A and B are shown apart, each in its own frame.
Chain A
């Protein structure tokens, strides 16, 4: 017998006064009975004190507790899991009477059987991995005391994480018997791409790269394997798969300038169940000619520019309005991006942020060139992209240019609540900021009735107008007509040569003579533009007003676009941001990339967009009127340049004939694109657990004191967070990081000297869908499940049994005995 506590023996001190009282006993009883009664009383107390000390004794027991773990992961069909559960239920009655059992389902975690989904976790998410080690560890906590322990593991044995060997050893040490009950692996016809791997991760243009695609199927079947690059199937091969065997398909590709760095293979099998595992990707970083993406509303306009760049060894891929990639891995195929003539609303919020990140975090280049869609005219004012440009859309208006009077009519009805009214306020304030000092602005807000938020105020007193705009709050109905009448009255007395009205509404207005009031406005020399926000807006009416008012009509579903539209409208209406007249180029400063070039000798340019330089950037070329023509700046890891004239024949028809035209742009592109990837840094990305990774960089030179690397992580769940790498050796740095959900992600590691490496990780799909039928050795060595083995009684094994109850019982019986001897 072992006692848990010994310190309760002090309670036995109570026996001392008892013994003293006994020694001076006044009772007159026969000595035998008297002594007997006292001894029994003492024993009763001793037994109770022992009970308090929690006595345990090792008894041989056949009592056993069995934990049944049933694999319900995706690699097993629900039918097979149910079959396993039925087997367990049938065993219930057959187990020896002294046995107890509990049943759990497991996949990415464990849950008691009978509960379909764990709290807050979708069934699919729960079934997406098989973590046997974790399930065994968890099950081990379920054993009650005083029984021998056994775990029966119903699984296909395919583990997708955890240290199984270590867990099984630990269980063995704790005398937990583990029995493996193999469950039939996936029953439906299924095929999967296991992996795709290139013969080299870095290839040069012209180099032949072999792609190895490993595929598998759970039965003999045929299919077609597509090799895809940049969304286009480059090659399709018929494949024949043998059941449970890994088939490796090899195919050679000559890397050309047209190829993107991401290669995917997609398997189209004859029969299939999961679609998720039919595709996998890898990256082949391409060296050689530099690749640049140019975006223009009319891609044909850039044909001459692209040809000139091709002669400079730069491949320019020209895309239209919607050509901006929305994933970092796709954008990173290009060393630089040229925004040659697309408006800001062609890019959504994610694309804007990505483009900024492309410069600041990935260290790539960006160039914006002038056009009617660039800078403020394109609505780029105060956008994330403008924050990485060396020139800003806000500019000093010429004294000679005509002044403008503008009225903003803003819908403040109840439907404009939340984000919409906030964006409307921001848009109105942007418009105020863009006005020249001699321009004038008024703001009318309307719901059921119009409100003069701000009377006609000069641009010089913009702050007063801005604070008035800040007070606009949503509420009420929608009646546009009286607001237009109020705007007409406000503009009637204005002496400006340019008069403009912008109307923003998201709802259906009450009826009114819109055509009449618009006619009155236009008769007074005023133009009217309209913005319909959201599907609920009266788009037809707004379009009609814009057409009648000689203005522009805009439609947007995203309130975030309103500021861009207002900025664009303000600049366009003021007719002051563009100067279309021939001018000669004046050199303001020189930079390394301009070596061998003399832009002063270049032909005339025919127009440009007026901008203002951002502090801290370098203006290299000016127009004759000292407006910026070319400026460069460094933003984060990358560089950008702004060229306010264009690269199309519209303004550059003469300039294109310049002998050094190609050289100028080639050198500028190479300058902003930077040095590219460092090929001497060896990268090692290790997966530590499901969501944790370790990135280790082996640096080319021993610089023990000068390792200062940071990593930028971008994934679907992480928009881009920067982390400092820890030096872990003379020439090594490392970083441990987490990526939620094990998704695809991109890492850009860089140091202050400009070295940088980009690592794309393709999670492809959860390992559960790999159809890998290889059972780990540690599981194969476990005893196999048979019904006989399960129901046969447990071998006697020592198990600690609590003696507290017998002790209390003995104490009470001793007490009874003691009283009996007294009363006889």
Chain B
């Protein structure tokens, strides 16, 4: 046996005054009484307990000396097996979304974890310093190493579920910490079977959650060219052991405004993604709600924003624009969403000359001077067939140019960095793409009007392919972000708001824009994968020795007092 605080044993000097006190002769109180009664009582006493009376003081001294010794032993912290003793303990509570799921006894995993933590704290060695942390997607220290159990308990009570997934990588750095802790330091993850990144962290499993279903993915998008038709995409996950029927409610703006009820069938595990199309979907806030009795309600909701893609603004710089306008109109309802405009165009379709100041343009029938060609010469007399040089270039996607005769071809010298996609058999460039300081352009060295190319099926395809190539448009932001993520800086700038961490599921208004965040997790419905085995943390059985010694001391003090008053001791 050794002691954690042997210095307290010096208090044993208290035994000296105690023994000295017992050397004092206790004088009986003077009383006036009849001699007969006095002698009677003296004789009776001598007859009945002569032996006991003689050792009464010794018994009292022995009991109190033992009480003192036990109290001091309790204070000094006796250790019987130093190797297994934990003197520094890091308790990590998993408070990820999964911790909110209820177990079969109606308590959540988090509540169970807290109970387990409380039990560990209570039963820990009196001198064990305990620190308390939580983990979900990051490790957060709640209480630094302390022996103050009260503080630990109150912080433990304050721990709440976070709406983020558990990430075992968050515990990666703890490996070094455990190594740096004093001898016999331990780190324990208390969770419902969460995986651990390495074996230096012990696990304390509090059980598995009751069956649960969750919306693990959701998305909304308008179908290009289909007006208000939107596709509602979702993915579900279930930990029910058998197939379950449920309803997926699609609500607009609030839970009360149900637009569509979709019966769904939940199979165990990750379900295949599914979707449906809503004919008249308004842009804005949408809520997915999975109606089922399960272990966690929060993951039955998903929030999403339906957005329209802004149209691609196409301007015209030429005299005969009607055919170009028809092309633009033809792709107005496609994914390109082109729209003919007169001011601030994104792309200009020019005919004959270059549009000044346009960031991107398509130039048909080039003439005059331009940064997009070095020199324009005389026209070739004969219509020329095209020889496609780069067959799979996106600029001529879906177009079949081999059989077409192009009229109005001129001797044209393209700039050095031009990518010539098609040329005549003599090497005169027919279609090329180039970029200069003035912007980027597709140059079409022919006159579509002359060869009735306007009426050719390839004409709108050529315009659409070049538009798609020149647009460089960024895709719409996701309909719903995952909780715990940060909004991309680009979106915050566009919306004119401040950076925000999406910690809770729901809708966020940032500047002019609305964004949605949802749990979108399958961790609550899919049993965690088997990670590193880790050492299972077991609670020390029995009561701490310090506690036992002090209890013995109290018992001896009380017993001695009772014996004293019954005149059996002291």
Contact = CB atoms under 8 A, between A and B. Distances in A.
Contacts of B547: 52
A819 B64 CA distance: 9
Which of B153, B223, B394, B558 has most chain A Cβ within 10 Å?
A: B558
Contacts of A171: 141
A555 interface: no
Which of A52, A135, A707 has most chain B Cβ within 10 Å?
A: A52
Contacts of B475: 682, 698
Contacts of B551: 11, 52
Interface in A39-68: 41, 44-45, 48-49, 51-52, 54, 56
Given A14-B554, A41-B561, A143 B145 contact: yes
B400 interface: no
A138 B173 contact: yes
A729 B64 contact: no
Which of B173, B231, B274 has most chain A Cβ within 10 Å?
A: B173
B181 A56 contact: no
Interface stretch (B18-26, B287-295, B342-350, B509-517): B18-26
B21 A820 contact: yes
A41 B172 CA distance: 54
A730 B64 contact: no
B90 interface: yes
A27 interface: yes
B558 A25 contact: no
B141 A811 contact: no
B176 interface: yes
A252 B415 CA distance: 14
Contacts of A421: none
A21 B565 contact: yes
Contact of A808 (B75, B217, B562): B75
Given A288-B390, A730-B233, A812 B565 contact: no
B550 A808 contact: yes
A804 B561 CA distance: 24
B75 A805 contact: yes
Nearest to A51: B550
A30 to B, nearest CB: 7
Given A27-B567, A141-B177, A56 B558 contact: no
Nearest to A208: B417
A791 interface: no
Interface string B116-160: 000000100010010100000011111011111111110000000
Given A166-B138, A808-B75, A819-B64, A5 B122 contact: yes
A163 interface: yes
B38 to A, nearest CB: 13
A112 interface: yes
A535 interface: no
Contact of A48 (B11, B71, B274, B567): B71
A819 B561 CA distance: 10
Interface stretch (A103-111, A376-384, A472-480): A103-111
A17 interface: yes
A49 B561 CA distance: 17
A287 B392 contact: yes
Contact of A704 (B275, B389, B418): B275
Contacts of B223: 702
Contact of B558 (A5, A45, A727): A45
Interface residues of B, number: 90
Contacts of A206: 418-420
The size class of the interface chain A forms with chain B is 35 or more
A145 B273 contact: no
A18 B144 contact: no
B561 A4 contact: no
Interface string A790-824: 00000000001010110011011101101110111
A704 B561 contact: no
A335 to B, nearest CB: 12
A707 B272 CA distance: 10
B566 interface: yes
Interface in B541-560: 547, 550-551, 553-555, 557-558
Contacts of B261: none
Interface string A680-706: 101000000100100000100010110
A732 B420 CA distance: 33
A138 B146 contact: no
Contact of A110 (B26, B176, B557, B570): B176
Contacts of B138: 163, 166
A495 interface: no
A14 B558 contact: yes
Nearest to A33: B29
B21 A689 contact: no
14 contacts: A3-B150, A4-B150, A26-B565, A45-B557, A51-B550, A54-B147, A111-B179, A204-B421, A206-B419, A288-B389, A680-B394, A732-B478, A812-B71, A819-B64
**Which 5 residue pairs are nearest across A and B when measured between Cβ atoms?**
A4-B149, A208-B417, A134-B173, A729-B219, A145-B146
Given A704-B273, A728-B219, 17 more contacts: A21-B566, A28-B29, A48-B554, A111-B176, A111-B179, A137-B177, A138-B174, A143-B144, A145-B148, A174-B142, A208-B417, A704-B231, A705-B273, A808-B71, A808-B75, A815-B68, A822-B570
Interface of A: 2-5, 11, 14-15, 17-18, 21-22, 24-30, 38, 41, 44-45, 48-49, 51-52, 54, 56, 104, 109-112, 118-119, 131, 134-135, 137-138, 140-146, 149, 163, 166, 170-171, 174, 176, 204-208, 252, 254, 287-288, 676, 679-680, 682, 689, 692, 698, 702, 704-705, 707, 726-732, 800, 802, 804-805, 808-809, 811-813, 815-816, 818-820, 822-824
